[in-house]
Chain A
Amino acid sequence: MQELAIAFFNGISIGSVLLLAALGLSITFGLMGVINLAHGELMMLGAYATFVVQNMFRPLGEPLFNFYIFLAIPVAFIVAALVGLLLERGVIRYLYGRPLETLLATWGVSLILRQFVRSVNWQMVIGLGLFSLLFFGGLFFVKRRQDWEKIRKWARAVLLVLSIGISTTASILMGNLAGQVLTRPWFSARNVDVTAPAWLRGGFALGNFQVPYARVFIIILGLVCLGLIYLFLNRSNWGLRIRSVTQNRQMSACLGIPTDQVDALTFAMGSGLAGVAGCAITLLGSVGPNTGQNYIVDTFMVVVVGGVGNLLGTVLAALAIGSLIYLIGSGTLAFLLSSVDVLQPVVDFLSFFATTSMSKVLVFALIIAFLQIKPAGIFPPKGRTAEL
């Protein structure tokens, strides 16, 4: 009996990590049809935001330091949402309706984000800031001219080259002058240490078993995010607009809904959720430039199995996959079935897969088999949907 309770809790806790990671992707993939391979990197950025917040709180000492996590969650959300907004405005907006190009472009962005985290230093930030200021500021002023239409093409090119040139030279000069202060990478390629606050370490005992506080926190966080998303999508004006744009973009545009803004908001929200997931995973493992890679595959699996665009499907899929990985990987399933003699060959088969590596193999095989029966996931989208 206690085995079942433990298995239940562990399955939910693994599932809640998957759920947090997959909520954001379910929104961007489900509501917008955008395959975002940079989702893992957005999680990673949320984790790094948590690291920065932790470092800001560290000198404040013990009582305040324990509450840094409550500030870290909104900060991670905002950081990831801003990056997602940038991504949407800069790259994905041009590629709607073209899933293959979106896939490649976002994969490229994921590589850029990973290297950015490894090598970002003040010099780079200053250079980028200068460039944005010069280019977009210059564009802003030039657009006000009377002969804008005529000089548009070469004005852009000239501004681009000029801003790149000036910002690059300025940042290199400053780097050479100031030396290590400006050129030292903020994070470097190595992993960073994010320590959970004291009240999240350890756990409370339940009989023979100890329930880790960190896991409970993640489950609660997942439920809260789920609730907030549900309320936002179904009870607010912007949620209504998002849903209408998903169902029929052109009709919504006719009705006066600003589809551009809706797209940007949806993508930013999905990315922000990825940032919150990143904050959660700092409680479980290490944070480094490659952290996102560990989660991206599982996240896509959850979204695909759950049915694209369906919150309930995502929840069920996350719980199911999490529970399966745990039950097979820890040998609990084999153990539970071993009491029935007839099922002995099944037990042997499951025992072979009862390690962490092999359990993933079996789970993926089961997912593939499941997708053969139900290709659109647990809850396929109903009705006719106009292709973008």
Chain B
Amino acid sequence: MINRRLGRRKFLLYGSATLGASVLLKACGSPSEDATTGTPGSGSGDTIKVGILHSLSGTMAISETTVVEAEQMAIAEINAAGGVLGKQIEAVVEDGASDWPTFAEKAEKLIDQDQVVTVFGCWTSASRKAVKDVFESRNHMLWYPVQYEGQECSRNIFYTGAAPNQQIEPAVDWLLENKGREFFLVGSDYVFPRTANTIIKEQLRAKGGTTVDEDYLPLGNTEVTGIITKIRQALPNGGVIFNSLNGDSNVAFFKQLQGSGLTPDLYPVMSVSIAEEEVQQIGREFLIGHYASWNYFQTVETPENQTWVEAFKAKHGQDRVTNDPMEAAYTMVYLWKQAVEQAGTADDLEAVRAAAIGQQLQAPHGLVTINPNHHLSKTVRIGQVRDDGLFDIIWSSDGPVEPLAWNQYVPSTRGYACDWTDPARGERFRMEGV
């Protein structure tokens, strides 16, 4: 029996040969790749370059790849209609890989190397916090399409997803009126669920509800038995579960919740990170009867929504669904376009910023307006999962709700607001008469 050892010389020889071959293959393979993945160019002339920065792989890919599709669809529609200021939009897509330092790195690359005029990106608050410094230090512009925990108001970010008072707070109010006063809070272990739960606890304290317990799962974790035991102990006869889990922990949570016999009639779960896409991924049989709070559902009945859903299904497949972050992403590209056209330039970000405030658009879910605090006025809705995996809209606010960047229940931010049209006020100023 000969011992076939791989000596150092052979290893170096084979290793360098493999390296050379792979570099050669990559170089040969590049021209046949899609032109929207980072082809170098000056960006001036006929095209305007924008950046798209989302997780195309990793635990968040389940959610973020659909947002990329919505943004690219909006860009394609705008290009087909003649582009912005007569120029075509060219999108540079980068993958954050569900890793927050990678987001910061790619953001720097988009701004410094690709010289994009704006970036549409991020989903988790962790990724947004990671890139916030990058955008502020370079005085650039990020459009962020996902609902988040508030307590932030950056000059360089436009928040087109719901602030807590447009999603979480109305949901808690509705639950207190209709489902019960005892809440169990469960979330993923990072900034959004922790901050959101702080807000919920304060709101419950102010409105007479109780937080019986809370627990956090690390992102990607699938062992939920401990949490289910805690739920049973804290809520032996039923109660409300407020779920801010993100990514594929939701799959484990609902599968194991049903396995343990905690059904929606006694233990209704209100989620703020589960939309039509996640219902498909988790399996609708585990979610029927549970609730979600968003501004947009695929079942919203407006003419704009009907057009958009039909166009999306025609392009990506009849079995695809649309959800709130996708709608916000689709809307924000159009809002950016309107701001650029009003400012008359895409490169002067100060002008675009100033022009953006006050922009209105009839979005698929309703009328939206960009407020001076860089957030959007949005209508609030609560939906219940039905048999076909879509949502029945069981409650809706009377009209668009004004966004509050700084939460009014949390003591440290009560009484503060944000206004970027007035240099004297800025990110955080004390409101008069409060």
Contacts and interface: CB of A to CB of B under 8 A. Distances in A.
Interface of A: 6-7, 10, 13-14, 17, 93-95, 118, 164, 168, 172, 176, 188-191, 193, 195-196, 201-203, 205, 208-210, 212-215, 253, 259-260, 281, 283-286, 288-290, 293-294, 325-326, 329-332, 335, 355-357, 359-360
B223 A14 contact: yes
Given A94-B5, A203-B260, A325-B226, A356 B221 contact: yes
Contacts of A168: 25
A195 B261 contact: no
A188 B316 CA distance: 15
A286 B215 CA distance: 20
A259 B1 contact: yes
Given A191-B248, A210-B260, A286-B251, A10 B225 contact: yes
B218 interface: yes
Interface in B193-241: 215-218, 220-227, 229-230, 232-233, 236
Contacts of A190: 61-62, 65, 281
A202 B215 contact: no
A189 B230 CA distance: 33
B21 interface: yes
B285 interface: yes
Interface residues of B, number: 48
B223 A193 contact: no
Contacts of B232: 208-209
B255 interface: yes
Interface stretch (B51-59, B294-302, B305-313, B396-404): B51-59
Given A201-B258, A210-B261, A213-B259, A326 B225 contact: yes
A290 B61 CA distance: 11
Contact of B222 (A176, A281, A330, A357): A281
A332 B229 contact: yes
Given A95-B6, A189-B56, A190-B61, A195 B285 contact: yes
Contacts of A208: 232, 236
A330 B223 contact: no
A275 B295 CA distance: 42
Contacts of B248: 191, 285-286, 288
Contacts of A193: 251, 280-283
B222 A286 contact: yes
A356 B280 CA distance: 26
Interface string B56-78: 11110110010000000000000
B427 interface: no
B4 interface: yes
Given A212-B260, A288-B61, A356-B226, 8 more contacts: A164-B21, A190-B281, A326-B225, A330-B226, A331-B233, A356-B227, A357-B216, A357-B217
Nearest to A253: B1
A241 B303 CA distance: 73
B189 interface: yes
A347 to B, nearest CB: 15
B61 A189 contact: yes
10 contacts: A17-B223, A172-B32, A208-B232, A210-B259, A285-B222, A325-B226, A331-B230, A356-B215, A356-B226, A359-B226
B85 interface: no
A293 to B, nearest CB: 7
Contacts of B215: 355-356
A202 B259 contact: yes
Contacts of A281: 222
Contact of A294 (B1, B222, B282): B222
